[in-house]
């Protein structure tokens, strides 16, 4: 075998091995369990845990912290009791689909509220059943007559209500000539007194930049 043919044979063999290795890896996926100290992954195209987690923590903590100083934590009999919140919905008005984060946001807000010293949530299944029996949509409870109808049903089910809570997600997008863009995410919470209709509102915002290249951040926001 001459030298030229020898190297052609070796080259073909190496290319074949490489092709087999690539084909063998195709379709595989790897994962690892995150520790509490690990940072959340930053979503490259949409908001993820790195966005929703701080928005939830900030807005809920601020709202409850303000309300806890003003509520009277006693029942009509004078015994200590928590005020009961009916969490109605997480409404997405942003430009993104939030997918399974909708239920995740609800559950995280649920956990924070039930961990407070002044408030607890009414069971979500009881809330849905009560709305269905009353023939009401969640946003209908802004009217006094709808609140009275819903409250009567919940009282029959031994699920009294002091407040109801709405969560709304909105976003605003700013685009540059380079096709990079910034999206501002806002999570707003409305806590409404069931008896009076008085509303307390709290919100939290996170700004996030999306870039077509690794230099996008430097180009749009500088080295800071």
Q: What is the band of 6 on the pLDDT scale with cuts at 50, 70, 90?
A: very low
Is pLDDT at 67 greater than 70 in this prediction?
Answer: yes
Sheet of strand 83-92, all strands in order from the earlier edge strand to the far edge: 119-121, 83-92, 163-175, 181-193, 199-210
In the prediction, which pLDDT does 25 show? 55
By CB atoms closer than 10 A (0-12, 13-18, 19+), residue 24 is: exposed
Q: Is residue 152 part of a domain?
A: yes
Task: Compute, in degrees rounded to 10, the torsion defined by CA atoms 103, 107, 81, 74.
Answer: -70
- Among 143, 191, 146, CA closest to 166: 191
d(CA 49, CA 108): 12
Domain annotation covers residue 11? no
- What's the CA gap between 77 and 79, in Å, rounded? 6
Domain count for the chain: 1
On whether residue 38 sits in a domain, the answer given is: no
Q: What CATH number has the domain bearing residue 147?
A: 3.40.50.10610
Task: Write out pLDDT tens, residues 115-174.
Answer: 988 899 999 999 999 999 999 999 899 899 999 999 999 999 899 899 999 999 999 989
């Amino acid at each position: 075998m001459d030298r030229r043919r020898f190297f052609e044979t070796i080259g073909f063999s190496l290319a074949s091995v490489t092709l087999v290795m690539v084909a063998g890896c195709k379709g595989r996926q790897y994962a690892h369990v995150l520790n509490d100290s690990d940072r959340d992954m930053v979503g490259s195209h949409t908001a993820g845990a790195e966005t929703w987690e701080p928005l939830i923590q900030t807005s809920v903590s601020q709202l409850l912290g303000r309300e806890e100083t003003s509520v009277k934590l006693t029942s009509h009999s004078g015994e200590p009791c928590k005020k009961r919140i009916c969490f109605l919905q997480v409404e997405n008005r942003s430009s993104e689909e939030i997918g399974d984060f909708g239920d995740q946001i609800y559950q995280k807000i649920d956990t924070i509220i039930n961990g407070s010293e002044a408030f607890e949530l009414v069971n979500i299944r009881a809330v849905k059943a009560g709305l269905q029996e009353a023939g009401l949509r969640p946003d209908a409870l802004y009217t006094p007559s709808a609140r009275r109808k819903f409250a009567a049903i919940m009282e029959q089910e031994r699920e009294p209500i002091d407040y109801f809570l709405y969560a709304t997600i909105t976003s605003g997008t700013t685009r540059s000539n380079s096709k990079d863009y910034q999206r501002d995410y806002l999570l707003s919470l409305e806590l409404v007194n069931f008896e009076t209709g008085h509303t307390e509102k709290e919100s939290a915002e996170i700004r996030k930049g999306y870039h077509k290249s690794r230099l996008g951040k430097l180009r749009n926001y500088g080295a800071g």
